[in-house]
A and B are shown apart, each in its own frame.
Chain A
């Protein structure tokens, strides 16, 4: 857990004072990623660097797991916090192994244990230890260097990590890959992380919470969905963009938008029964399943007007989506296939339900209806 209490930083320059952080109060629960977001010069990096005292606060308190950080010696504090910067900062005079072992060594680990840890960590980011341990940073690609930068910060297994635009210098394709890898890692490691970014898309993707800064002030501290759905003021609304509701698509999974009224039938269901069910549920199509519960086709209302069994009138489906796919991907597949609904399948390939455009719209609109409802009372 990281807790900031009235954290303030005033830089004195000749003639005036610049308030880089103005009474910031926030709390990041254990195991969560909090993204500090805002335009350049908003104070997000200052706030981050005060946590490991690279910048000394003017006033205010910082607590890590309940303990006041003023109680630590500064080097001791920094060694217990993982730190990743945009320029990576691998030491070019040291091998990858030596780079990873810097903090464990300062903490007095024995070399054998530190080496073993370095190999484990390289494995974790899919870099073959035998190949990389003895290389020098300049022999690695940018993406590989940044992976090493992240695992170097993890070397001594610190409970807290500070990341200053860690993926900012990586090309967009590699950035997505590294972000995904990092999130997968975080699922297991459950570190408490402060993460500075200036990219709203990255913030929405990585953050459990987002803190938006302007002029040294914390403007809003909320979950990504709340922030996108209910920006606290015009500045935030502008900053997150006019397409903010579309950005929320990314936060929801296909399984969340399954329409309960959708129909699924077996091969030998009679079309007469199917017509009755369609009328009852106001459905205009049904999914045909095979014996294993997998999607075998679809039957439109028109086709169902004939006589016989379902299998005879089946047509191929446009596409299926995975239950774990985010709604942005689902909508994209819908648009590509000119359809308003898609069958959802689990990881085993079995049918789980149908996601419809109406259901997605309903889901995204829910939070606004609640707010209006609450306002009316």
Chain B
């Protein structure tokens, strides 16, 4: 599996490199670089949008999943999760639009919309991951005299961490992909280049927004993958 993944990675890098060479020869790179100032400014805006909304989603999503998975919530948790699942089916563009009609335009409604769109996978995976920790592990932990908090920290969370991280990766992939829509409600970000490019039928301008967005998505997932690899304990990490 490792060898295959490595080959795939090499092929990918080679393809990107070839694309870059072609773009340079065709003069495309130079044309895109005209927008360099916009790109760097908007990328920072984009990253701020993603990290603020994503960070909030992780914080609140993990907490909610955790609360829902507690035995005291057993009777109501499933119902609440069903409501959340229905919420997932709402398209992200609709979420953004609803956010605008609620909070107006600007940075705050954009962050709120992205936060809502990426919240659900995190709650769902945290909840499911914690419930999937085998009952006999919890029984052993209780029987050895651990307090409920110790069981959560030392047994439940470490064993659910891989699943929780998968949820966070999914959520942030959605988040980065949805972030260009923030422009539509005045939130800024690389969407400004993309949508303006579309409106003006200006391909280079469009690409000047789309390529960094794509690169950002790949980068975020790559970084999270590394964190997941390192942070999940070896004994319960299928990657090592």
Interface residues of A (CB under 8 A from B): 52, 54, 74-80, 83, 85, 87-95, 102-103, 106, 136-138, 152-153, 162
**A90–B139 alpha-carbon span in the complex (Å):** 11
Q: Does B91 contact A (CB under 8 A)?
A: no
Distance from A196 Cβ to chain B, minimum over Cβ atoms (Å):
13
* Number of residue pairs A-B, CB distance < 8 angstroms: 75
Name the residue on A nearest B158 (C-beta): A93
Out of B137, B140, B155, B234, which one reaches A83, CB within 8 Å? B140
Distance from B228 Cβ to chain A, minimum over Cβ atoms (Å):
14
Nearest 9 interchain pairs by C-beta: A89-B140, A136-B235, A78-B145, A79-B145, A83-B143, A93-B158, A87-B136, A93-B233, A75-B145
* Residues in A neighbouring B233, C-beta threshold 8 A: 93-94
Known: A87-B136, A89-B137, A91-B155. A103 touches B235 (CB 8 A): no
* Residues in A neighbouring B143, C-beta threshold 8 A: 52, 54, 78, 83, 85, 89, 162
- C-beta contact mask, B140-153 vs A, less than 8 Å → 1, else 0? 11111111001000
**A56–B51 alpha-carbon span in the complex (Å):** 48
Name the residue on A nearest B140 (C-beta): A89
* Residues in B neighbouring A78, C-beta threshold 8 A: 142-145
Q: Does B236 contact A (CB under 8 A)?
A: yes
Please list 24 pairs of residues, one from A and one from B, whose beta carbons are closer than 8 Å in the complex, sorted by A's number.
A54-B142, A54-B143, A75-B145, A75-B146, A77-B145, A78-B144, A85-B136, A85-B139, A85-B140, A88-B136, A89-B139, A89-B143, A91-B137, A91-B154, A91-B159, A91-B235, A92-B159, A93-B155, A93-B159, A93-B235, A94-B154, A94-B158, A95-B235, A136-B234
**A78–B141 alpha-carbon span in the complex (Å):** 10
Known: A89-B139, A94-B235, A95-B235. A103 touches B159 (CB 8 A): no
**A44–B140 alpha-carbon span in the complex (Å):** 18
* Residues in A neighbouring B234, C-beta threshold 8 A: 136
**A234–B226 alpha-carbon span in the complex (Å):** 65
A93:B236 contact, CB within 8 angstroms: yes
**A83–B145 alpha-carbon span in the complex (Å):** 10
**A211–B158 alpha-carbon span in the complex (Å):** 40
**Sample of 9 more A-B contacts, CB < 8 Å, known A54-B143, A79-B145, A91-B155:** A85-B139, A87-B140, A88-B136, A91-B154, A92-B137, A92-B236, A102-B144, A102-B154, A138-B235
**A87–B155 alpha-carbon span in the complex (Å):** 16
Name the residue on B nearest A155 (C-beta): B144
